[in-house]
Chain A
């Protein structure tokens, strides 16, 4: 089907970009393997959509796309949570930098 060809083409481009990033060392081997696994899994699912139905049924969910939907929501919630924590930490660090600078600046004037 056309959608499979389009999705596969996109995945090929993404994997090619991953390899490029690996060769210029923007990605570590560990990161590369992780991302590669994710996109290869995506490719497998695109080629054999029946697989998701089989996995979904085996955990008690009716349709493969439903399972993916559920997992995606859990994943996104988790990512948002982690991002919030990280932003909070960055904000606190930033405040500390600004504060240190303000106090230091003042000492210079004295």
Chain B
């Protein structure tokens, strides 16, 4: 079964090498890094670590990078695609769990922190996530226990159908509403997300919810 792990990366030179090695150790799959216009050595390091690298010449945002990866997976006829983050929050050993679940006949398996165990989430972030979950349940009707998590496994045939043109962070909401719109068969699998100082610094602040809402409303 041809499988690809898609990792959008922006200035992740510090982490990307280790993450790729860990993913390679976890299973036999192709690793694709989309270097989203990094100013550092992200692309070179990723290539040396054994990933295929696509380079965005300018930074276009995580959603845009993900979509480039989706186009690649679709063009080269991969059967399964896994979305993975470059900042070390996710555990490569859990990829297998999502893919196994996908094999039970789903179009997409979403990672959920609430089925798994989250290590030290800051309170403001927790509150924002709660609100986002409520909002997502109301607007999409999806029965999920977690939202806006980038750890996902997809059948590429299903992935092909979704519209993914939110370039920045709002793509996470867009993916969920596309799952609802296309009535895809979805399931959740527990994942562990660890919030390290590094990932928090790289990640979004709680206030970003306003810019995401803006993206969703205006476009």
- Please indicate whether A and B come from the same complex rather than being unrelated chains: yes
Chain A contacts to B: CB under 8 angstroms: 84, 88, 91-92, 94-95, 98-99, 101-103, 105-106
Contact at B56–A98, with CB atoms within 8 Å?
A: yes
Contact at B67–A102, with CB atoms within 8 Å?
A: no
Contact at A103–B75, with CB atoms within 8 Å?
A: yes
Closest to A106 in B: B54
Give the residue of A84, A88, A91, A99 whose beta carbon is less than 8 angstroms from that of B56: A99
List 16 contacting pairs A-B, 8 Å CB cutoff, sorted by A. Answer: A84-B218, A88-B219, A91-B167, A94-B58, A95-B60, A95-B67, A95-B167, A98-B60, A99-B64, A99-B67, A102-B68, A103-B68, A103-B71, A103-B72, A103-B75, A105-B54
**Total A-B Cβ pairs within 8 A:** 42
Interface residues of B in 121-173 (CB under 8 A from A): 165, 167
Contact at A98–B58, with CB atoms within 8 Å?
A: yes
Main secondary structure of the interface of A (DSSP, over half): helix
Task: Give chain A residues whose Cβ lies under 8 Å from the Cβ of B61.
Answer: 95
CA–CA, A40 and B188, complex, Å? 66
Main secondary structure of the interface of B (DSSP, over half): mixed
Task: Give chain A residues whose Cβ lies under 8 Å from the Cβ of B71.
Answer: 99, 103
Given contacts A99-B68, A99-B71, contact A106 B167 (CB under 8 A): no
Given contacts A88-B219, A95-B64, contact A102 B57 (CB under 8 A): yes
Q: Given contacts A95-B61, A102-B57, could you give 18 more A-B pairs where the C-beta distance is less than 8 Å? A: A88-B218, A92-B165, A92-B167, A94-B58, A95-B60, A95-B64, A95-B67, A98-B56, A98-B57, A98-B60, A98-B64, A99-B64, A99-B68, A101-B57, A102-B54, A102-B55, A103-B75, A105-B55
**Number of residues in B with C-beta < 8 Å to the partner?**
20
Contact at A103–B58, with CB atoms within 8 Å?
A: no
Contact at B34–A106, with CB atoms within 8 Å?
A: no
Task: Give chain B residues whose Cβ lies under 8 Å from the Cβ of A98.
Answer: 56-58, 60, 64
B11 nearest CB across to chain A (Å): 17
Interface residues of B in 10-26 (CB under 8 A from A): none
Closest to B35 in A: A102
CA–CA, A106 and B71, complex, Å? 13
Task: Give chain B residues whose Cβ lies under 8 Å from the Cβ of A91.
Answer: 167
B9 nearest CB across to chain A (Å): 13
Task: Give chain A residues whose Cβ lies under 8 Å from the Cβ of B34.
Answer: 102
Give the residue of B54, B57, B167 whose beta carbon is less than 8 angstroms from that of A103: B54
